[in-house]
Every structure is written in C-alpha cells, then in structure tokens.
C-alpha cells in the first residue's frame, strides 16, 4: 500500500522541503510549458507529511533563488521552473535517469599547485579533487593550462583512489537505500491514484538523486561489489517503470 511505501522511502527522516519540491518539478514538470498548481503541490507534499506552511516557505525560497516562478490563473497559482531552474534541472536529469553509467572507461590524473585559481580551473574542466593538488578526470587526458595530465594505466584503479571518491559512509547509504527499495517493491499497490504515483516516483527519484549526484559518474572498475550503485540504479528504474508518470492535466485536475 502507498501508506506503507512512503515511510520506507523517507527512511523515517524529515525531507528538506525545498529539495523535494525541486525533485518533483524535475520528474513531473521540467518542460518550458509545464505547470504544477499550488493545490497540486499542497496535495503531493501533504502525502509525505509536509505542512502547507512549510511548503509555502520552501516555494518562497525557490522563487527568491530564481529557481521557480508562478502565475495566477483565476484564484489558482501555477508554478513553473525558470530558465535557470530548468537548465540546472536538465543538467542533472541526464545522470539521474540514465539506465547505465555514462562515464567513459578511461581516466586520468591532473596535477597542479594547490591555489584558488587551480580549484576553479579544475571545476570548470569537470575534474574531481582526490588528494591535495591531484584531480581525477574521465576520458582521454586533455590539455588543461597549468596542469600535468597523466593517463590512468591501472585497471582496476588503486583502492586509495576509489575510497577518495566513494566513502564508506556513502557506500553504507547506497546499501541502505537499496534495501529500502526492495521493501518498497513488495509494498507497492497494484494500482494507485495519479497523485500517489507522482509522490512515490518523487520519493524514489529524490532518494536516488541525493546519492548519485554526490560523486562523479564512474566506470564500473571504480566501484567494488560492496558499493551497490549498479544494483540500486536497476531497482530504481524497475520501480519507476511500475509507476508510470501521470500527466500534468490529470494531476492538476485531481487537486482542483
């Protein structure tokens, strides 16, 4: 039943309301013309125990940050992603919804003196800091001004490099989330309302998003069997396939 699946997905923790709303827009309403009414958002967040006042505070924060905006249509408020919010959402969406890892097989290390400028240049080049003055990049070694780039020659990579990317704590969180997904798979209702499906999808994507975006997209050689990224990814998509995305017309009409 939906009532049983929701606490399994939240893990008994209070959600960050603004972050969950970002997830809902990313899953349901990321198109330029997509809208979610205030009533729909209230109904969806209410199913996970979020109070209307907390939702209004979160919406105010997201508007202030330039992530969402709203328009009035009669007495109803219709919320939508701004160009900024949509661009950042779409950038993350590729990784969140990918059914297979997107990372290339090859990797390299980039070395440069540790300065503020170095950190900025590394971030712009998509590099990840793994040790002082040492950064990891995926693909063939490029030419980056100020960096010495060396191709990774070890397959699989050394354990110290793996641990610098996927910590023991993150490994444990993947294992716990995978276990919760197994429980949710048994608790899912055979049929549910559009609103319930939207909320369950949102919670699944939210839990997955919080894990997968905490580290770079990595080749399988960077993760051992104890790190359950690949099995968790598969179970996320199995559940999402069981919960077809409802149309916005159905969602907004239901809430009205």
* pLDDT in the model for residue 139: 84
Q: Could you tell me if 96 and 172 lie in one domain?
A: yes
**What is the C-alpha to C-alpha distance for residues 216 and 253, in angstroms, rounded to an integer?**
39
Q: What predicted TM-score, i.e. pTM, was given to this entire model?
A: 0.88
Q: Could you tell me if 58 and 118 lie in one domain?
A: no
The reply to whether 156 falls in a domain is: no
Query: If pLDDT is split at 50, 70 and 90, which confidence band does 223 have?
Result: confident
Of residues 32 and 224, more confidently modeled: 32
The reply to whether 213 falls in a domain is: yes
Number of domains in the chain: 2
Q: Could you tell me if 130 and 13 lie in one domain?
A: no
The reply to whether 81 falls in a domain is: yes
pLDDT, tens digit, 9 for 90 and up, residues 100-125? 877 777 889 999 987 767 888 888 88
Residue 156 preceded by cis peptide, ω within 30:
yes
* pLDDT in the model for residue 111: 94
pLDDT at 2 over 90: no
Q: Could you tell me if 16 and 94 lie in one domain?
A: yes
| Per-residue CA distances from 31 to 34, 81, 104 (Å) | 5, 8, 29
The reply to whether 207 falls in a domain is: yes
- Supply the range of the domain harboring residue 77: 2-100+166-255
pLDDT, tens digit, 9 for 90 and up, residues 136-152? 988 888 888 889 999 98
Q: Could you tell me if 146 and 179 lie in one domain?
A: no
Q: Could you tell me if 18 and 59 lie in one domain?
A: yes
Could you give the maximum distance between any two Cα atoms of the chain, in Å?
Answer: 63
Q: Per-residue b/e over 54-90, b at no fewer than 16 CB within 10 Å?
A: ebeebbeebeeeebbebeeeeebbbbbbeeebbeebe
Q: Quick one: average pLDDT of 12-20?
A: 90
pLDDT, tens digit, 9 for 90 and up, residues 170-203? 999 999 999 999 999 998 877 789 999 999 999 9
pLDDT at 224 over 80: no
* pLDDT in the model for residue 34: 97
Q: Could you tell me if 134 and 174 lie in one domain?
A: no
The tokens for 7 are 């606490």
- For the chain, the first-to-last Cα distance in angstroms comes to 24
Element (H, E) at 78: strand 76-81
Q: Could you tell me if 78 and 188 lie in one domain?
A: yes
At residue 14, the 3 state secondary structure works out as coil
Tally of CB atoms within 10 A around 189: 16
Task: Please choose, from the candidates 144, 145, 126, 146, the residue with its C-alpha nearest in 3D space to the C-alpha of residue 136.
Answer: 126
**Can you give 29-74 as a three-state secondary structure string?**
CCCCCCCEEHHHHHHHHHHCCCCHHHHHHHHHHHHHCCCEEEEEEC
Beta bridge partners of 72: 77
Of residues 80 and 256, more confidently modeled: 80
Q: What CATH number is given to the structural domain containing 192?
A: 1.10.10.10
Q: Could you tell me if 59 and 125 lie in one domain?
A: no
For all residues of the chain together, what is the average pLDDT? 90
Q: Could you tell me if 139 and 249 lie in one domain?
A: no
Of 151, 180, 214, which one is at a domain's C-terminal end?
151
Q: Could you tell me if 173 and 71 lie in one domain?
A: yes
The reply to whether 157 falls in a domain is: no
* pLDDT in the model for residue 169: 92
Task: Please choose, from the candidates 254, 159, 177, the residue with its C-alpha nearest in 3D space to the C-alpha of residue 214.
Answer: 177
The tokens for 117 are 């400028």
**What is the C-alpha to C-alpha distance for residues 83 and 89, in angstroms, rounded to an integer?**
10
Residue matched to tokens 């159905």:
250
The reply to whether 25 falls in a domain is: yes
Q: Could you tell me if 15 and 141 lie in one domain?
A: no
The reply to whether 161 falls in a domain is: no
At residue 247, the 3 state secondary structure works out as coil
Query: If pLDDT is split at 50, 70 and 90, which confidence band does 236 have?
Result: very high
The reply to whether 159 falls in a domain is: no
């Amino acid at each position: 039943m939906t009532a049983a699946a929701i606490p399994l997905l939240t893990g008994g923790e209070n959600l960050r309301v603004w972050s969950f709303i970002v997830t809902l827009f990313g899953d349901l309403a990321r198109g330029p013309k997509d809208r979610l009414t205030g009533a729909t958002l209230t109904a969806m967040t209410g199913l996970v125990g979020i109070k209307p006042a907390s939702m209004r505070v979160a919406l105010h924060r997201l508007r202030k940050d330039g992530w969402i905006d709203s328009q009035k249509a009669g007495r109803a408020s219709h919320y939508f992603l701004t160009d900024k919010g949509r661009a950042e959402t779409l950038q993350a969406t590729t990784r969140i919804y990918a059914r297979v890892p997107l990372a290339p097989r090859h990797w390299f290390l980039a070395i440069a003196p540790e300065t503020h400028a170095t950190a900025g240049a590394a971030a712009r080049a998509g590099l990840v800091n793994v040790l002082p003055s040492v950064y990891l990049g995926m693909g063939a070694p490029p030419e980056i001004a100020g960096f010495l780039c060396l191709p990774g020659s070890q397959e699989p990579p050394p354990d110290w490099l793996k641990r610098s990317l996927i910590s023991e704590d993150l490994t444990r969180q993947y294992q716990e989330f995978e276990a919760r997904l197994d429980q949710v798979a048994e608790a899912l209702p055979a049929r549910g309302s559009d609103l319930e499906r939207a909320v369950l999808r949102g919670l699944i994507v939210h839990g997955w998003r919080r894990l997968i975006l905490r580290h770079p997209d990595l080749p399988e050689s960077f993760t051992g069997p104890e790190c359950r990224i690949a099995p968790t990814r598969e179970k996320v998509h199995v559940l999402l396939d069981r919960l077809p995305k409802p149309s916005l017309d159905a969602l907004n009409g239901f809430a009205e």
